[in-house]
Structure 1
Amino acid sequence: MTGRDAGTVAGRVPLAGRWARPGVRRRTTVGDVVATYLPDGYVQLEPARWFSLPDAGPVAEHPDLLDAHGHLVASIGVLLLEGPGWRLLVDAGLGPAHVPASATHASLGVMVGGGLVEHAGEIGAVDAVVVTHAHDDHVGWARAGWPGFAGLARVPHLVGAGERAPSGWGVLRDGDEVVPGVRVLATPGHTHGHVSLVVDGGAGRLLVAGDVLHSPVQVPHPGLGSCFDVDPGASARSRARVLAELAVPGTVGAVTHFADVPFGVVRDGRWVPLPDGD
């Protein structure tokens, strides 16, 4: 779903504007697992440069995804996953930073972080921090030592094999079980050691995609890959693998860069956002 026909979700949650604005706190429940998206900030993506296209291409077919400056809006945030007897934090945001437009790459507009500290009390104590990959907008608070987050610097930090991560972080491989019911899905390509997570909620499952996907436009157009992919071929295979997993009945997706629609299902080749669970 990325069109103007998609005015509401489940007939009750208005979508106007959510496709092109930074994410806010959102929550969904899958069986006995609760997933909460907690925002840290956002980054603007210049569509043609981000997808290495000569022009806006397929993105032009989905104007609802573009902000007033013609950028895709990629939220930056983390997922708090809570299951029977365990709590995990997925990713570590950008941290307290404000990067001007094009300061680091021509495909990027403004990049802003720092908002996650407002949710420190909700994060509380966790069993581990799972990092999908070691890019700045996924490790920022961890590299800064988690200032303002009591105890988080001392819990295990886990990252995929092949990632360049701080010493002392644990290593995850395809098929590893992080906690009961949370399995690692190796999805290399955006980075060499990128991982996703498949979470068994009993009645349904949650798939945490990480940066296999950056925008809902990639659901109907899976051939679009990021200019930052270190291995475009592997990235395309991982994207196909994740989209196939998302097509399995009973699977909810969690994609933190998807503007203000981070939780959804894939239906008829579209991203269909879910209503909030609270």
Structure 2
Amino acid sequence: MHTPTDPSAASPDTPSPTWTVGDLTVHRIDEVPLPAETGHWLLPDATPELVSDVPWLRPGFADEAGALRLASQSFAFEVDGARVLVDTGIGNGKPRANPAWNNLDSDYPARLSAAGFAPETVDLVILTHLHTDHVGWNTRADGGTWRPTFPRARYVTSRAEWNHWAATELDAARQQMFRDSVHPVREAGQLDLVDLPEEGTEVAPGLRLVPTPGHTPGHVAVELHGGTATALITGDALHHPVQMAHPGITSCVDIDPRQAAATRRRLLASLADSGTLVLGTHFPAPTAGLVTALGDAYGFTPVPPGA
């Protein structure tokens, strides 16, 4: 049973939204809502007409005009004594090509601390992939230097992900991101590259990384086991619940759109009617829910905080 607690956080002084997964408590750590135009840019095939034909997306996941809602957030939890953070958002004060991400000034660190996960207490940071909006709080400014935000943490990503970017000619914007948000962690000796077999690998008791390639070659989803209950954090294997109703919808930044769609279909088939709580890394409130089979596609039954 997945028991939600607390309504959506409105400020760092408001308790973070949480879900209970067996004996685990998962906190959503809000960074920022993404601008309204993000959905059209990110998922161009999710037209207002198509979105409007999926009534269960409203009101939480889309507005009445058929525009998608998206957010930037992390998830934090404690498992087997380890304090874990999944993905680190956009980050503050970083030069970015995307105007909505450029020199952000959010209260994310205060939210993280208010949830009980002050940066110096985090043991493990899992990076589902190395895209700009998932690695930003890896580091913080210290004078003119970028230093790891989580000084005692092991930062984990897949070796396949690292190897892809290491062999790729990066544009200027991505070079900047690696300089300020990835390389400082590696230079501090805190980056841990994990080999993932097809069935995934356990990085701590009850915490498993699942290969979900396509969006990027080494993308992973994160599976949690709390007793007999299970949850899965999507990363960008699913950007938005509209991809449950239409699994073939791909992102403009998928490196291999065909593989991304095949991975998504396989993942959704495994989740459908399983009772696994799905937590979307970019899903706005209510953020979490249960996947249901719906003909040749899927539906999503929200499990909102405070319900």
Same fold (TM over 0.5): yes
Shift of 1:52: 3.5
Q: Give yes or no for contact 1:97–1:114 (8 Å, CA) kept in 2.
A: no
Measured in 1, the distance between the counterparts of 2:155 and 2:148 equals 15
Determine the C-alpha separation between the residues in 1 that align with 2:210 and 2:160. Answer: 14
* 2:300 paired with 1:271: yes
Q: Which has the larger radius of gyration?
A: 2
1:156-193 deviations in Å (ceiling 9; x for gaps): 10112232453341112332211101111011111121
Helix, strand or coil for the counterpart of 1:95? coil
Deviations 1:74-95 (A, max 9, x none): 1111100222322211111111
Query: Which residue in the other structure is 2:205 paired with?
Result: 180
66 and 113 in structure 1: CA distance in 2 versus 1, 3 angstrom threshold: farther
Match of 2:173 in 1: none
SS at match of 1:185: strand
How far the C-alpha of 1:203 sits from its partner, in A, is: 2.0
For the 8 Å contact 2:88–2:136, the answer to whether it is kept is yes
For residues 233 and 83 of structure 1, what CA distance do their matches in structure 2 show?
34
Give the CA deviation at 1:244. 2.0
Q: 1:212 and 1:223, CA in 2 relative to 1: closer, same or farther beyond 3 A?
A: same
The structure 2 residue matched to 1:28, chosen from 11, 16, 19, is 19
Question: 1:172 corresponds to which letter in structure 2?
Answer: V
Residue 242 of structure 2 is aligned with which of 211, 214, 217? Answer: 217
Q: CA deviation at 1:266?
A: 0.9
**CA-to-aligned-CA distance 1:234-253 (integer Å, 9 cap, x gap):** 11122112212321523111
For residues 258 and 190 of structure 1, what CA distance do their matches in structure 2 show? 16
Q: Which amino acid aligns with 1:171?
A: L
Give the SS at the match of 1:144. strand
| Counterpart-to-counterpart distance in 1, 2:27 and 2:7 | 19
Structure 2 residue aligned with 1:90: 86
- Give the 3 Å change call, closer, same or farther, for CA 208–113 of structure 1 in structure 2: farther
Question: Which of 69, 72, 90 is residue 73 of structure 1 equivalent to?
Answer: 69
1:40-189 map, 5 Å: 40-44=31-35, 45-53=37-45, 55-62=47-54, 64=59, 65-67=61-63, 71-97=67-93, 104=98, 110-111=100-101, 114-121=106-113, 122-124=116-118, 125-144=121-140, 152-163=150-161, 164=165, 165-166=182-183, 167=186, 168=189, 169-174=191-196, 175-189=200-214
Query: Contact 2:209–2:222 at 8 Å: present in 1 too?
Result: yes
Q: How many positions carry a matched residue from both structures?
A: 253
**Residue of 248, 264, 272 corresponding to 1:247:** 272
State the TM-score, normalizing by the size of structure 1. 0.78
CA contact (8 A) 2:44 2:252 kept: yes
Matched-pair contact (CA < 8 Å) for 1:51–1:224: yes
Q: Is the Cα contact below 8 Å between 1:189 and 1:229 reproduced in 2?
A: yes
Tell me which of the two structures has the higher relative contact order, counting C-alpha pairs closer than 8 angstroms and 6 or more residues apart.
Answer: 1
Q: Which moved more, 1:213-222 or 1:81-90?
A: 81-90
> Please, what is the CA RMSD of the aligned residues?
3.3
Work out the CA distance in 1 between the residues paired with 2:237 and 2:20. Answer: 22
Q: TM-score, normalised by structure 2?
A: 0.71
- Alignment map for 1:251-262 (pairs within 5 Å): 251-262=276-287
Q: Deviations over 1:116-161 (max 9, x none)?
A: 11223221312210011111111111133699x9971331101122
Q: Tell me, which stretches of 5 or more residues in structure 1 are unaligned?
A: 1-9, 16-23
Identical columns (%) = 32
